[in-house]
Amino acid sequence: MKAKTTLVHLIGVGLNRAGLYLSGVAQLGLIGLSLIGLTLSPAAQADHDVFEQVFNKHQFVMLLIDPATGQIVQANPAASRFYGYSVSSLEQMKIQQINALSPEAVAEERALASKENRNYFIFRHKAANGEVYTVEVSSVPMNYDGKTLLFSIIRDITALRETEDAFWHYQNNLEKMVEEQIAQLKSSEYSWRVLLSTIILLLVFGAAGLIVMLQKSKIMRRALTHEKQRLDEVIWSTNVGTWEKHIPTGRVIINERWAEMLGYTLQEVTPLNHTSRQEFIHPDDLEISDERLREHYRGKTDSYSCEMRLRHKQGNWVWVQDHGKVVERDAQGKPLRMVGTHQDISEQKKASEQLKHLAHFDLLTDLPNRTLFYDRFHQAILVARRNNSLLAMLFVDLDGFKSVNDNYGHSSGDKVLQVIAQRLKDALRQSDIVGRMGGDEFSVLLQNLHKKEDALQLAAKMIEQIKQPIPLDNNQSATLSGSIGIAFYPEHAIEAEDLVQLADDAMYFAKKSGKGRYSVSGASVCHQSWHPGQ
């Protein structure tokens, strides 16, 4: 019995080592992971066109399916060629019209895949000509144009299954022969001659069978080689680095693109393990990456994903989208092997930061806009409340700005606003905040004040800065003044909006009192204003 088991095991190992099946599945998983990383991260959504290009031009059969109804939302040309329907016809069909299995059989296969920890399903799909194919379906949920769809890659494994069926039939014959010979040895007094003849028969038959099997698999090996070449092209065109991790030992295998992304050759960074890989990760990103990995190892997430910074050979940081999935576990469910991708998202991050900046900063002066100023004001009040400290809100309005626009044009007016914005920043301390509320109005928040007089001194300094001549084009210049209203936290109000309104009222009081001066709010009215030097 031991001889039988060992022989069968060796034949199975030989087939696996021949690359007949396992390598194809592992490689196919990489394209799924690369496309998931491309379409789910906030930064990768910008690569929608790249996804469309891969989806429509690649030779893999790909479908986007509505999980609620089974409706095929989108099919690629490869799907049209495989099933024999036009793309438009496929997109009018439901997947149930293609799947030849009954709903009960589909449910059984899904349960079996879950039990075996498989991330793919084996179905029977019917083509337009009536022919039925055995297919391997790998599906993952993804957000596409605001909807959650199933992204499915379908692979024809009919020839593979026929080869496997032949192999298992051959294996069963071997086992049956061994069992019969053992039974015969037990029931009779056959000697070592019978046993040796049996072993020779097994070896001869086994060798012949293995040769037949390998001959039958040549076409499949060529197909898998061609498939791998196409996969490599897709991975390269999508600018993706790939990695594979042996979790018990920590050994990490990467491709050339992974190393090139960081300015290295593959030889410079290999061999790589979990610890040496961590040395590339920014300290601020390491903890969240490790935590998400642990969650995925424990089975709490379907896949692992993390945006992180990796150190480039030149010393700068490269933003990458790191995405992976455990593809092999032991009988106890402990993770053994994980595959994943790295995608450089530095440009997407840069564009995202620029959009974020535009959403919070004034386009003309680059000062915080009203939204950001109020956000920082609210945060400052929380700190002041906790520390029992003093804040001052200053509302600044330019006197005579309209005449600059009227006399010199709006481009000169824009330049005046830019110069005034810079002068206000120069007059303030590092902890103070200046923003543009709109038009020729500016807001200033003074923090960490020891006494009210500190705010009055800064207000006087700003008025002096504002009234300095501003050079314009054609040897011209503009001279303005500024009126400032002041309200204190917590004396006058404890909410940001109330303090801004009181400072605005005080500013108008200063304007009515002669302009070019500042005024402090009273409990309910602005009662006094000062000109610098008074």
For residue 350, give the amino acid letter. K
The Cα–Cα gap between 55 and 303 comes to 21
SS3 298: coil
Quick one: pLDDT at residue 533? 53
Better-scored residue on pLDDT, 54 or 71: 71
Checking if the pLDDT of 417 tops 80, the result is: yes
pLDDT more than 70, % of the chain? 73
- When the candidates are 3.30.70.270, 3.40.50.880, 3.40.50.800, 3.10.580.10, the CATH number that belongs to 361-530 is 3.30.70.270
Q: What is the pTM of this model?
A: 0.46
Structure tokens at 224: 């898998």
**Topology given in CATH for the domain delimited by 239-345:** Beta-Lactamase (3.30.450)
* Between 21 and 401, residue with greater pLDDT: 401
Of 378, 371, 362, 534, which Cα lies nearest the Cα of 459?
534
pLDDT of residue 173: 43
Please measure the distance between the N-terminal and C-terminal CA atoms of the chain and give it in whole angstroms: 109
What is the model's pLDDT at position 194?
A: 39
pLDDT, one tens digit per residue, over 12-70 is: 333 333 333 333 343 444 444 444 434 444 444 445 666 677 788 777 898 999 988 99
Q: How far apart are CA 82 and CA 135, in angstroms?
A: 11
User: Span 406-410, mean pLDDT?
Assistant: 84
User: For residue 248, is the peptide bond before it cis, meaning its omega torsion is within 30 degrees of 0?
Assistant: no
Residue 455 has pLDDT above 90, yes or no: yes
Cβ burial 53-78 (10 Å sphere, 16+ → b, else e): ebbeebbbbbbbbeeeeebbebbbbb
Cis omega (within 30 of 0) for bond into 490? yes
pLDDT at 48: 62
Distance of alpha carbon 236 from alpha carbon 365, whole angstroms: 42
pLDDT at 205: 38
Band of residue 525 on the pLDDT scale cut at 50, 70, 90:
very low
| Average model confidence (pLDDT) across the chain | 78
Given a cut of 70, is residue 8 above it in pLDDT? no
Residue 518, pLDDT above cutoff 80:
yes
Q: Do the beta carbons of residue 64 and residue 48 sit within 8 Å?
A: no
Model pLDDT for residues 294-303, shown as the tens digit of each residue:
999 999 999 9
Task: Report the DSSP pairing between strands 481-489 and 518-521.
Answer: parallel
pLDDT at 78: 92
Give the pLDDT confidence score for residue 199 in this predicted structure. 36
Q: Where are the alpha helices (DSSP H) in 22-145?
A: 22-40, 48-57, 77-83, 87-90, 103-115
> In the predicted model, is pLDDT for residue 414 greater than 70?
yes
pLDDT of residue 534: 53
- In the predicted model, what is the mean pLDDT of residues 279-305? 93
How far is residue 217 from each of residues 17, 123, 154, 159, measured CA to CA in Å? Answer: 13, 22, 21, 9
Chain Cα centroid distance, residue 203: 53
pLDDT at 24: 38
Predicted confidence at residue 293, as pLDDT, reads 93
- Confidence class for position 342, pLDDT limits 50, 70, 90: confident
Number of H helices, E strands in the chain: 19, 19
Q: Band of the pLDDT at 367, cuts 50, 70, 90?
A: very high
pLDDT higher than threshold 70 for residue 361: yes
Cβ atoms 217, 170 nearer than 8 A? no
**pLDDT value at position 309?**
95
What are the b/e assignments for 109-121, b being 16+ CB within 10 Å? beeeeeeeebbbb
**Which tens digit of pLDDT belongs to each residue from 221-262?**
665 566 556 655 555 555 678 888 999 998 998 888 889 999
pLDDT at 195: 38
Residue 237's pLDDT is 55
Residues 40 and 143 sit within 8 Å (Cβ to Cβ): yes
Could you tell me which residues are beta bridge partners of residue 471? 477
Tell me the pLDDT tens digit for each residue of 210-232: 444 445 455 556 655 665 566 55
Query: Among 4-8, 205-209, 283-287, 394-398, whose mean pLDDT is lowest?
Result: 4-8
- Ranges 145-149, 196-200, 283-287, most confident: 283-287
Let me know the angle formed at the C-alpha of 88 by 85 and 89, rounded to the nearest 5 degrees: 45
pLDDT at 50: 62
What are the boundaries of each domain within the chain?
239-345, 361-530
Q: Which helix (H) or strand (E) holds 132?
A: strand 132-144
Confidence of residue 188 (pLDDT cuts 50, 70, 90): very low
3-state secondary structure of 451: coil
